[in-house]
Amino acid sequence: MSWTIIWQTWVFVIGIFFVLPLIGSALISVVTTRTNQHLMRAFGLNAPLIFGWFGVMIHEISHAVMSIIFGHHVDKIKLLQNPFKEGNENRMGYVSHAWNPKNKYQQLGNFFIGMAPIFGIALTSWGLTKLLWPQLLIGFHDGSSVWLNTAWWQVALWIYAILNLSLALNLSDADWQNTKSGALYYFIFLTIVALGVGLWINDAFIIWETVGRPIAYFFGGVLAATFIMYMLTAIIGRR
């Protein structure tokens, strides 16, 4: 047993599975919020609802699915609503769920429930790309033309869907509160996992090579996409 390996393993595990998701989600959320502000400046207060309605629905579905996975009781789901209507508290949608504070698994789940939209929207975007513009994924890997066997309407529909989804990547204060309430339990869980893994591996860097790099690419890719949307809406918002 090498305490150096165990320490390095803990650093990699906490950095990859705890710090990176938090920082990545925070940056994505901030950029998306600014993007929606640009749209509201250009098209009015209802712009996020008009342009991002589908994304809002996937956002809330992601919360609901993760709530069920972690054994929470889902009281009510509102996939889409007018945030400016009296009583809606400026929310375009919400999921009301309850959990047992004494249940550590359910408490741990709050971390993932809060950040679920980042992963749910990314997964939906991948699925729609696979359905509407599969050549984009193929061309990315083998260098072939992304326009091969792709109709114009497929590209147009894909652009609209991705635009719509990307506008719902911002996490609300309630989402972050959920994440915060489960963070300690998740941190403890990762520490236990790191100690176990550190006992049987010889090189902690393998954690970065096998899972760390793909996770970094994931958050980097989503952040890059949201930044492109930010730049485009910034140009539109100035007109």
pTM (2 decimals)?
0.91
Interior angle at CA 126, CA 143 and CA 175, nearest 5 = 140
> What is the Rg, in whole angstroms, of the alpha carbon atoms belonging to the chain?
20
Residue 141's pLDDT is what?
Answer: 58
Mean pLDDT of the chain: 91
Grade residue 128 by pLDDT with cuts at 50, 70 and 90.
Answer: very high
pLDDT band at 239 (very low <50, low <70, confident <90, very high): low
* Predicted pLDDT at 146: 72
Residue with tokens 């047993």: 1
| Domain with 66 in it | 3-237
| Pairwise pLDDT comparison (202 vs 113), residue with the higher score | 113
Q: What is the pLDDT of residue 106?
A: 96
Q: What is the DSSP string of 81-129?
A: --TTSTTSTT-S-EEEEE--TT-HHHHHHHHHHHHHHHHHHHHHHHHHH
pLDDT level of residue 60 (50, 70, 90 thresholds) = very high
21-44 average pLDDT score: 94
Whether the predicted pLDDT of 145 surpasses 90? no
Structurally, the chain folds into a number of domains equal to: 1
When pLDDT is cut at 50, 70 and 90, the band that residue 236 belongs to is confident
pLDDT at residue 41 above 80? yes
Who has greater pLDDT, 193 or 136?
Answer: 193
pLDDT at residue 3 greater than cutoff 70: yes
The neighbouring-strand residues paired with 74 are: 97
Q: What is the per-residue pLDDT for 10?
A: 96
Q: Is the pLDDT of residue 238 over 90?
A: no
Element (H, E) at 40: helix 20-43
Which residues, 6 or more positions from 73, have their beta carbon under 8 angstroms from its beta carbon? 97, 98, 99
* Residue 81 main-chain phi, psi, to 5 deg: -155, 160
Range of lowest pLDDT (41-50, 120-129, 162-171, 207-216): 41-50
pLDDT digits (tens, 9 = 90+) for 89-98: 788 999 999 9
Instruction: Give the per-residue pLDDT at 137.
Output: 79
Q: What percent of the chain has pLDDT over 90?
A: 73
Beta strands in the chain (DSSP E): 73-78, 94-98
| Chain segment 146-202, per-residue pLDDT in tens | 777 788 899 999 999 999 999 999 999 999 999 999 999 999 999 999 999 988 888
